[in-house]
Amino acid sequence: MNITLRRTVATAAVAAGLVGIAAGTASAKSDLSISVSAHTRHVGQSVHVTARGDDDAARVTYVCIDERIGAGAWRQLACSPKAGRQLVLNARADRKGQEQFRSRLLVSRGGHLVTDRTSAPITVTVR
C-alpha cells in the first residue's frame, strides 16, 4: 500500500470512530423517583407519597404509584393525569406492619401503555 492510500484509510477509520462516539452519546433521558414524608407511621396516620417521572423520548407519559402491604401483591393506587410528570397522594396506614410504595413510568408505544421503568420500593413501618 502506498503512503497516500494508508493515510486515507487511517483518516476514514478515525472519522468513522468519531461518528460512532458522537452517535452513542445522543440518547433520550428517562427519570423516575419516589419519596415519602416519613418512614414510620402509626395506624390511622397518612403518609405523603410523591412520585416524579419523565421520558424525553415519549410523547405521552404517566406516573403511577403502587402499594404493597407485607408480602402481598402490588396494587396500583393512582396514576397522574395524561402527560403528567408528577403524582402526589396521601396513603392512610390501616394496619401494623410494613407498607411499601413504588413508582412506575408508563409510556405510550404503538397506541398501548407499557411500563418503561419501575422504581425501587420504599418502605414505611406502621406501628
With bands split at pLDDT 50, 70 and 90, how would you rate the model's confidence at 26? very low
Tell me if 60 is assigned to some domain: yes
Bridge-based pairing state of the strands 122-126 and 40-41: parallel
**Domain range for 88:** 30-126
Indicate whether this model's pTM tops 0.85. no
Report residue 28: phi and psi, to 5°: -75, 150
Tell me if 11 is assigned to some domain: no
- Read off the pLDDT of residues 66-117 as tens digits, 9 standing for 90 and up: 999 999 999 999 999 876 689 999 999 999 999 999 999 998 888 888 998 9
Tell me if 21 is assigned to some domain: no
Quote the number of domains for the chain: 1
The whole-angstrom separation of Cα 2 and Cα 103 is 61
Closest CA to 40 of 79, 93, 3, 4: 93
Tell me if 18 is assigned to some domain: no
Tell me if 9 is assigned to some domain: no
Tell me if 10 is assigned to some domain: no
Measured CA to CA in angstroms, residue 43 lies from 30, 46, 54 at distances of 36, 8, 33
pLDDT the model gives residue 31: 84
Compute the average pLDDT of residues 32-49: 95
Looking up residue 49, the CATH number of its domain turns out to be 2.60.40.730
